[in-house]
Amino acid sequence: MERDYYEVLGVGRDASEDEIKRAYRKMALKYHPDHNPGDATAEQKFKEAAEAYDVLRDPEKRARYDRFGHAGVQGGAGGFGSAEDIFSHFSDIFGDLFGFSTGGHGSRAMSGADLRYNLSVTFEQAAKGAEITIKLPKHVSCPECKGSGAAPGSKAESCRHCNGTGQVRRSQGFFQIAMPCPICQGSGRVISKPCPKCKGEGIITDTRELVVRIPAGVDTGTRLRVRGEGEPGTHGGPPGDLYVVLSVEEDKRWQRQGQDLVYTLEISFVQAALGHRTEVPGLDGPLPLEVPKGVQSGSMLRLAGEGMPYPGRRTRGDILVEVRVLTPTRLSARQEELLREFEAEAENTPLEKVKKAAKKIFG
């Protein structure tokens, strides 16, 4: 009796493609013959799972199966004559599960590795944006052998061990598994006369200059991605990317809080009492500031839109001016006299007289 494919994989009939793939991976790993040597039941479940996945992963086959059952997919499933057929049919699944390649000849194209470059920028460069030229050590194709790895006047030969396929096959249980050739490392070729410049690698380490564009408003930890500037790919694969990680130097004038800049303004207690007109530094030059009468130490005055830009946007943060009122420490005799007169005058105000009277009455 033929089992329901959804039941075989343990998923519902409304399961998504990802759910079906995860269920199959789980069963393939559980019932793989290498994990269950000599177990005929596990082998049967392994084949059933492969048959079910072959149908349910294909939208057209799945639609026919949902409508007509097994009769709708006759000839489209259950046709795996050997374990090798299963492996070649689902090379993406088994490559992920067991770490080997199952199809084709020679080595697969692989993307190059990504690179990281730590770059320190000044506060002004971070605030205004900049273009900075960096020197990047990088692997490039050897100019002597044009990347072939073979000495000039010679060429790579087909590997005799794998007949140029880049793979050798070995038995594992009742499977035949394709593995990279140990002689040519999966390249399918052998270099008898290596290039003296690159030692047969086909690539050398070189230093190249690259212009990196720094957007205005960046902060420490910002990562800039430069596509295609990583390590070169192998066997025709695309190059990796370069990630430039920024470190922004501090500025003595401000303390940065995100896109806001905090500036500390010191004023005398007379200026705090009477008010004060002054200037504070801004990113584009001095900015006028009106300190209100009676301002208290620790008060925060805001200059909206004068802070750091938001990267990629037209808006900016603010400059926050923290007021710090200074108390004089060295007074002349005349200054002390004036302060005492000021205190006495303050005590004789109508408000202070009311406070004193209330204190005598109510204690």
**Per residue in 168-187, pLDDT tens?**
777 655 556 777 787 776 77
3-state secondary structure 213-243: EECCCCCCCCEEEECCCCCCCECCCCCCCEE
- Report in angstroms the alpha-carbon separations of 331 from 98, 228, 262, 326: 84, 68, 31, 13
Task: Name the band, by pLDDT with cuts 50, 70 and 90, for residue 32.
Answer: confident
- Report in angstroms the alpha-carbon separations of 86 from 51, 213, 273: 9, 50, 87
In a domain, 178, yes or no: no
| Residues with Cβ within 8 Å of residue 356, at least 6 apart in sequence | none
Task: Name the band, by pLDDT with cuts 50, 70 and 90, for residue 49.
Answer: confident
Find out whether 80 and 47 touch, Cβ atoms under 8 Å: yes
In a domain, 177, yes or no: no
Task: Name the band, by pLDDT with cuts 50, 70 and 90, for residue 212.
Answer: very high
Question: pTM for the complete prediction?
Answer: 0.55
Q: Decide which of 352 and 106 is more confident.
A: 352
Same domain, 25 and 85: yes
Any idea what the CATH number is for the domain that residue 144 is in? Answer: 2.60.260.20
In a domain, 83, yes or no: yes
Same domain, 232 and 354: no
Same domain, 93 and 209: no
Give the torsion sign (CA, 270, 274, 278, 283): positive
Note down the domain range covering 357: 333-362
Same domain, 134 and 208: yes
What is the percent of the chain with per-residue pLDDT over 70, rounded to a whole number? 81
In a domain, 144, yes or no: yes
Q: Are strands 157-158 and 189-190 parallel, antiparallel or unpaired?
A: antiparallel
Same domain, 263 and 307: yes
Same domain, 114 and 241: yes
Find out whether 28 and 35 touch, Cβ atoms under 8 Å: no
Same domain, 81 and 207: no
In a domain, 191, yes or no: no
Same domain, 269 and 240: no
In a domain, 92, yes or no: yes
| Domain's final residue, options 249, 281, 312 | 249
Rounded to the nearest integer, the mean pLDDT of the chain is: 82
| Domain's final residue, options 98, 130, 164 | 98
What are the residues facing 268 on neighbouring strands?
326
In a domain, 234, yes or no: yes
| Domain's final residue, options 233, 249, 265 | 249
Same domain, 239 and 120: yes
Same domain, 120 and 234: yes
Any idea what the CATH number is for the domain that residue 50 is in? Answer: 1.10.287.110
Same domain, 50 and 89: yes
Same domain, 49 and 74: yes
How many helices (H) and strands (E) would you count in the chain?
A: 10, 15
How many domains, in total, are found in the chain?
4
Q: Decide which of 135 and 112 is more confident.
A: 135
